[in-house]
């Protein structure tokens, strides 16, 4: 096979297989990232998890605000880009290449997600479990999708804040 076609095919499959486990890659724009971080309102030194951190843009914006970030990303190409993007903040940002459903999440103060509707119930369950393991509250900022059966604490456009 032509090497260009082979490379394009491999890249296509890497991006496509992630859909079996979560949302496909679609980056959050700068304006929404900043508004999301404003709404999360975490203090410098607090920890934010990003479930599916894509190319690391939100993680980087959070690090600029002094937050500690753990970003999970299943797509190895994006995980590498996210790692490179946040290299300057390596003391604050950890990029984990893996499936966030299968990871032991560290204690955290906030979580940022841009998932899909069909994963929101599962996410809610996982955060409730996490909350039982830690004393401090967890703030969840979901871009675009609501958590079924849970009341938002705040909303701005398609940004939804929840408190656990």
Planar angle of CA 122, 95, 97, nearest 5 degrees: 65
Torsion 21-114-61-30 (CA) sign: positive
Name the nearest CA neighbour of 127 among 140, 113, 143, 115.
Answer: 140
Residues in contact with 44: Cβ distance below 8 Å, sequence separation at least 6, in sequence order: 65, 66, 67
Shortest spacing between CB 1 and ligand SAM, in angstroms: 25
Q: In the complex, which residues of this chain contact ligand SAM (CB under 6 A)?
A: 18, 21-23, 25-28, 50, 52-54, 57-58, 72-75, 78, 99-101, 114
| Exposed/middle/buried for residue 90 (C-beta within 10 Å: 0-12, 13-18, 19+) | exposed
What's the CA gap between 14 and 111, in Å, rounded? 25
Shortest spacing between CB 18 and ligand SAM, in angstroms: 4
Shortest spacing between CB 46 and ligand SAM, in angstroms: 18
Which of 51, 138 has the CB closer to ligand SAM?
Answer: 51
Which of 94, 135 has the CB closer to ligand SAM?
Answer: 94
Shortest spacing between CB 62 and ligand SAM, in angstroms: 11
Which of 105, 114 has the CB closer to ligand SAM?
Answer: 114
Which of 54, 110 has the CB closer to ligand SAM?
Answer: 54
Which of 53, 138 has the CB closer to ligand SAM?
Answer: 53
Q: CB-side exposure of 156: number of CA atoms within 13 Å? A: 12
Shortest spacing between CB 99 and ligand SAM, in angstroms: 4
């Amino acid at each position: 096979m032509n090497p260009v076609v082979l490379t394009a095919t491999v890249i296509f499959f890497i991006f496509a297989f992630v859909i079996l486990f979560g949302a496909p890659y679609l980056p959050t724009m700068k304006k929404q990232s900043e508004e999301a971080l404003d709404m999360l309102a975490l203090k410098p030194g607090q920890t934010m998890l990003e479930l599916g951190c894509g190319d690391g843009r939100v993680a980087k914006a959070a690090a600029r605000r002094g937050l500690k970030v753990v970003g999970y990303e299943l797509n190895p190409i994006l995980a590498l880009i996210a790692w490179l993007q946040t290299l300057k903040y390596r003391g604050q940002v950890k990029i984990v290449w893996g499936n966030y459903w299968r990871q032991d999440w560290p204690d955290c103060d906030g979580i940022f997600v841009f998932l899909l509707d069909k994963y929101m119930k599962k996410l809610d369950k996982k955060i409730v479990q996490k909350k039982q393991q830690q004393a401090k509250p967890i703030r969840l900022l979901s871009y675009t999708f609501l958590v079924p059966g849970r009341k938002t604490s705040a909303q701005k456009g398609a940004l939804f804040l929840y408190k656990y």
